[in-house]
């Protein structure tokens, strides 16, 4: 087991009706002027925004609302929010939505605490974040895990860049999680969310074998649970218990618990972010589209790990490691297909041209500079090969 620091300071307020406790939660964190961030309208339509505003009023808090965050949120929009929040004198930023909204809230929080510094300086790692404004979340979709993660992902449209910023200043002070708020999420988004949760766990699991049994058991249990309950919520999106399980998996998949002693990789995410930056596809779906090609490229170099995954997550009974690994990959891809996710890039809706494949590979390799995966070095030429292998299903 490698050395590690586990830090997950977010207060989780979980269950039915918890959105009515938001005012108290903000007060507990010392907020008095709250900047509310929400998305394209689901929180307005469901009445959630109004309920949150009522809770803030009842706690005697001033607030200003800022909507219009779109999936794959842009830095340009976050900069607009940051200006409004500064003018309002916000001392607490509250995201009501999914990863896109919460990440925008985090970006606004950094902006407000660091007047005059463009967000790009933080995301391009020119400048570290050394202070921020407190952020809280009311989660409305189980997927990105932003409610407990140290990350915030933005698209800088003018630069054709999508990428994450990791810092403990991205940790939400609290996350309000009522599974009932997720009953209205469209099925495609539910399935993309399940895929993203799986991938956050797998990006910490598929690294070279290190004896790390407790962490592996947590990861495998999480994967079995999200696979099983993912099926149930797609059959019946009003199944409270199944939704609650998936929602809790979302947070645990990305709060660091499944990397203790093992670390993380996040190479599949690099491929996915490139696809979203170029074509604006749903995050979870981009991951499903490239995963088969990624896994097929790597499993022969780490057959034991892939075989353990196959046996403990999918119940594969093959004795021989390579055969078990292959069956595990097949079952994963079959599951993506079953829940309505793409299993190749064409199923996302595009056949990339040669030029686009180059552009995608350039983005995923950070301008041909990065080496991906902990299994073996995957640089620009290999990244291009994996992308090319992901275009069409086998």
Which residues would be at the binding site for ligand NZQ (CB under 6 A)?
39-43, 71-73, 97-101, 103, 140-141, 143-146, 149, 151-153, 181-182, 184-185, 189, 193, 196, 254, 269, 283
Q: How far is the CB of 79 from Zn ion (least distance, A)?
A: 23
- C-beta separation of 137 from 176 below 8 A: yes
* Residue of this chain nearest to Zn ion (CB atom): 196
Q: How far is the CB of 394 from ligand NZQ (least distance, A)?
A: 26
Q: Is 265 in the site for Zn ion (CB under 5 A)?
A: no
Question: In the β-sheet with 33-38, what is the strand arrangement from edge to edge?
Answer: 11-14, 174-177, 135-139, 92-97, 33-38, 62-66
Q: Provide the mask over 140-179, with x wherever binding to Zn ion is found by CB under 5 A and - wherever it is not.
A: ----------------------------------------
- Which residues, in sequence order, are bridge partners of residue 205? none
Dist. CA 277–CA 156, nearest whole Å: 9
Rank residues 15 and 40 by Cβ distance to ligand NZQ and give the closer one: 40
- C-beta separation of 331 from 310 below 8 A: yes
From Zn ion, ligand NZQ, none, which one binds at residue 43 (CB under 5 to 8 Å depending on kind)? ligand NZQ
Q: How far is CA 254 from the centre of its chain?
A: 7
DSSP state of 68: -
Alpha carbon dihedral 25, 31, 36, 37, in 10-degree steps, equals -90
- C-beta separation of 310 from 316 below 8 A: yes
DSSP state of 302: S
Dist. CA 138–CA 136, nearest whole Å: 7
SS3 of 308-331: the string is HHHHHHHCCCCCCHHHHHHHHHHH
From ligand NZQ, Zn ion, none, which one binds at residue 41 (CB under 5 to 8 Å depending on kind)? ligand NZQ
Residues 6+ apart with CB under 8 A from 79: 111, 118, 119
Q: How far is the CB of 222 from Zn ion (least distance, A)?
A: 14
How wide is the angle at C-alpha 152 spanned by C-alphas 150 and 157, nearest 5°?
A: 160
Q: How far is the CB of 317 from ligand NZQ (least distance, A)?
A: 32
Q: How far is the CB of 186 from ligand NZQ (least distance, A)?
A: 6
Rank residues 173 and 270 by Cβ distance to Zn ion and give the closer one: 270
Q: How far is the CB of 240 from ligand NZQ (least distance, A)?
A: 14
Dist. CA 133–CA 135, nearest whole Å: 6
Rank residues 56 and 154 by Cβ distance to ligand NZQ and give the closer one: 154
Q: How far is the CB of 72 from ligand NZQ (least distance, A)?
A: 5
- C-beta separation of 138 from 48 below 8 A: yes
What is the C-alpha end-to-end distance of the chain, expressed in Å? 37
Rank residues 181 and 310 by Cβ distance to ligand NZQ and give the closer one: 181
From Zn ion, ligand NZQ, none, which one binds at residue 146 (CB under 5 to 8 Å depending on kind)? ligand NZQ
Site for Zn ion in 177-216 (CB under 5 A): 196
Rank residues 182 and 307 by Cβ distance to ligand NZQ and give the closer one: 182
Rank residues 59 and 282 by Cβ distance to ligand NZQ and give the closer one: 282
Rank residues 172 and 310 by Cβ distance to ligand NZQ and give the closer one: 172
The contact set with Zn ion (CB under 5 A) reads 196
């Amino acid at each position: 087991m490698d050395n590690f620091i586990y830090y997950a300071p977010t207060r989780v307020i979980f269950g039915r009706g918890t959105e009515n406790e938001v005012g108290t939660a903000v007060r507990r964190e010392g907020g008095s002027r709250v900047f509310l961030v929400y998305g394209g309208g689901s929180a307005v339509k469901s009445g959630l925004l109004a309920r949150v505003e009522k809770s803030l009023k009842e706690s005697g808090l001033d607030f200003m609302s800022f909507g219009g965050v779109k999936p794959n949120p842009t830095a340009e929009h976050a900069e607009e929010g940051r200006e409004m929040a500064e003018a309002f004198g916000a001392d607490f930023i509250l995201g009501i939505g999914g990863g896109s909204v919460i990440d925008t809230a985090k970006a606004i929080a950094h902006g407000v605490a660091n007047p005059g510094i463009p967000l790009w300086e933080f995301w391009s790692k020119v400048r570290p974040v050394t202070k921020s404004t407190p952020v809280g979340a009311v989660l409305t979709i189980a997927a990105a895990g932003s409610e407990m993660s140290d990350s915030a992902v933005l698209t800088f449209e003018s630069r054709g860049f999508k990428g994450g910023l990791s810092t403990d200043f991205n940790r939400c002070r609290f996350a309000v999680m009522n599974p009932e708020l997720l009953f209205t999420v469209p099925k495609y988004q539910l399935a993309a969310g399940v895929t993203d949760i799986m991938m956050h766990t797998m990006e910490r699991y598929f690294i070279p074998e290190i004896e790390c049994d407790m962490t592996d058991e947590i990861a495998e249990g999480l994967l079995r649970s999200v696979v099983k309950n993912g099926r149930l919520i797609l059959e019946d999106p009003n199944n409270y218990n199944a939704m609650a399980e998936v929602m809790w998996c979302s947070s645990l998949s990305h709060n660091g618990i499944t990397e203790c002693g093992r670390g993380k990789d996040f190479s599949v995410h690099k491929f996915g972010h490139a696809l979203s930056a170029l074509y604006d596809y749903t995050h979870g779906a981009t991951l499903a589209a490239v995963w088969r090609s990624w896994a097929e490229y790597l499993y022969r170099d780490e057959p034991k790990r892939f075989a353990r995954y196959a046996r403990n997550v999918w119940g594969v009974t093959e004795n021989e490691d390579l055969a078990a690994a292959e069956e595990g990959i097949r079952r994963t891809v079959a599951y993506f297909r079953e829940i309505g996710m793409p299993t190749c890039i064409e199923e996302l809706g595009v056949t990339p041209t040669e030029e686009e494949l180059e552009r995608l590979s350039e983005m995923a390799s950070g301008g041909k500079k990065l080496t991906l995966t902990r299994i073996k070095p995957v640089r620009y030429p290999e990244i291009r090969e994996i992308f090319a292998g992901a275009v069409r299903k086998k």
